[in-house]
Amino acid sequence: MNRRVIEAWIERLSRAARLTIGDVDELALVAARGFVDEQGHRRPTDLWLMRWMLRSMGENQNMETSEPAAASDSTLDVQLWRTLALNEPATMKIGAGPMQSSEPAMVAIEAWTECELSALHALWHLESRELAMNAQPTGRRHSLGVARWHVEHTQPDNATNSPWAIHVFVALAAIEADAEAELYAQTQLHNCQITMGSPDRRSAMILADAARALQELQATG
């Protein structure tokens, strides 16, 4: 694994996130108060992302959010984020292709890709949890396989400029010397800053979490 690539991206993602949400203490405060984006909107994944980030930082998880509304959403990414945030066992099996059973032609490519990458982001954390519990290290290879498929078959700007799973593409670049994977991550980081010149609030939270994931990878190898 190329640790210099990981170190550079930890700094890059952390710096970009700080442009919008400041330091870790402010991040925890934003999450605990109930996250909304610049338009006052909250997506189903936001609740579980915030809960996961608070739990991973050892913070109190009392949040001013509506759990039943998010829990009722049946999309794959929401299911995986909820599993992660509530520390529930993961049961799904992942192959080396796309994570969703439906084909992109069945839905808008932007919505399909965003759900894919959001689910991949959560999957990486679920696999890391299993590795920490001394489970068989097959899950991480699944994450990299899914990322490899997306590098070959999708474009990062097919999503809605949210840098989901950016750390997985960085990991693929560092572990397998995959220049295309790093370019994919670079495009994601660029795209989430186009509108305002800095990451929007949701993207900043995603980048902060991705930086923490890379720090964990750097520490554990």
pLDDT tens per residue across span 201-210: 899 999 999 9
DSSP character at residue 89: P
- Asked if pLDDT for residue 178 goes beyond 60, the answer is yes
85, 55 contact by CB (below 8 A): yes
In which band, very low, low, confident or very high, does the pLDDT at 139 lie, cut at 50, 70 and 90?
very low
Mean pLDDT of 46-63: 75
| Residue 178 near residue 132 (C-beta atoms within 8 A) | no
Query: With bands split at pLDDT 50, 70 and 90, how would you rate the model's confidence at 70?
Result: very low
Alpha carbon 90 to its chain centroid, in Å, reads 17
53: pLDDT strictly greater than 60: yes
C-alpha triplet 85, 87, 88: angle, nearest 5°: 115
Q: What is the pLDDT of residue 50?
A: 86
